[in-house]
Amino acid sequence: VAERAQREAEDALQIRNDFLSSISHDLKTPLTVMRGTIQLLQRRLKQGDMSALLDRLKVLEVSINKMQGMIEDILTIAQLKAGQHLDLDIRPLNLFPLITRIVEEQQEITHRHHLHLSTYSRDLPVQGDAIRLDRVITNLLTNAIKYSPDGGSITLDITDEEESNQHWIVMRFQDQGIGIPEADQPFLFRPFYRASNARGHIPGTGVGLASAAQVVREHGGTISLSSQQGQGSCILVRLPVNGKSEERGDV
């Protein structure tokens, strides 16, 4: 028993060290980009050259958004670890405009992937926190892109479903990327967990999925995945139409 406890403590330490080194790298990279961009802008402006201003400000904005997203994921996970509920700003929300904007934004970042959106309706009403759900969808799409290094098509398919006396909006994120080894699949929604075919090959911190799962569950939804290594992955998110019904004595 003592041996096992020691092994677990060592594993926890290893995970923490891996986490600290990858998170400090991930947080510093956008900062370096921001600093470089600001210095360049200062030089250009001193020379009275305004031509690159808009482009460079866009670079700054993208870096800031990246960093903000990462910080939000880490805070979400910290709350999960502390066993706390998330502070959600729940309002009636149509997911359709949010989703189309995110798909367009992500398509702008990549030329090698083709993003396809299909939906049963342009009216996708949920009770939700727009900023948190934006982050969930962005995380799942950036994963689909990142873990498809050879490019390919990525589809986000939205359907609806009737189950357990509840009307659900179902989002399927399907890619043709590296997939997830079966042995890793049960652990992927754990904070900091990364699959063996990603670790050491593709940069990442392992906070995106865990934070997405936490946000989806707090909205009364479910998240699951299926994947064939080398063939691609599918992440399935279900959210209750018009919010979770409290009187149902939820699962």
Ligand X SMILES: Nc1ncnc2c1ncn2[C@@H]1O[C@H](COP(=O)(O)OP(=O)(O)OP(=O)(O)O)[C@@H](O)[C@H]1O
- Where on the chain is the footprint of ligand X (CB under 6 A)? 139, 143-144, 147, 175, 177-180, 188, 194-195, 198, 204-210, 233
Position of minimal CB gap to Mg ion:
208
Judged by beta carbon, residue 63 or residue 143, the one nearer ligand X is 143
Q: How far is CA 70 from the centre of its chain?
A: 9
- Closest contact distance (angstroms) between CB of 178 and ligand X is 5
**Of the ranges 26-34, 71-79, 127-135, 200-208, which one interacts with Mg ion (CB under 5 A)?**
200-208
* Pick from 202, 199, 224: nearest CA to 143: 202
Per partner kind, with CB cut-offs from 5 to 8 A, the member of Mg ion, ligand X, none near residue 69 is none
Helix (H), strand (E) counts: the chain: 5, 7
Residue 219 token pair: 């909205």
* Pick from 128, 122, 119: nearest CA to 93: 128
User: In this structure, are residues 85 and 218 in contact, taking their beta carbons and an 8 Å threshold?
Assistant: yes
- Closest contact distance (angstroms) between CB of 205 and Mg ion is 8
Q: Rounded CA gap, 56 and 53, in Å?
A: 5
**Of the ranges 77-85, 103-111, 127-135, 205-213, which one interacts with Mg ion (CB under 5 A)?**
205-213
The amino acid sitting at 243 is G
Judged by beta carbon, residue 37 or residue 139, the one nearer ligand X is 139
**Of the ranges 5-13, 58-66, 75-83, 139-147, which one interacts with Mg ion (CB under 5 A)?**
139-147
Q: How far is CA 185 from the centre of its chain?
A: 17
HSE toward the beta carbon, residue 105, CA cutoff 13 A:
18
Residue 240 near Mg ion by CB under 5 A? no
Per partner kind, with CB cut-offs from 5 to 8 A, the member of ligand X, Mg ion, none near residue 233 is ligand X
The amino acid sitting at 126 is V
Q: What is the DSSP letter of 92?
A: E
Judged by beta carbon, residue 38 or residue 131, the one nearer ligand X is 131
Q: Judged by CB under 5 A, which of 208, 221, 232, 240 binds Mg ion? A: 208
- Burial category of 230 from C-beta neighbours within 10 Å (exposed 0-12, middle 13-18, buried 19 and up): exposed
Q: Rounded CA gap, 172 and 236, in Å?
A: 5
**Of the ranges 44-52, 108-116, 136-144, 184-192, which one interacts with Mg ion (CB under 5 A)?**
136-144
- Closest contact distance (angstroms) between CB of 208 and Mg ion is 3
The amino acid sitting at 187 is F
Q: Judged by CB under 5 A, which of 106, 119, 138, 143 binds Mg ion? A: 143
Size, binding site for Mg ion by CB under 5 A: 2
Q: Which residues bind Mg ion (CB under 5 A)?
A: 143, 208
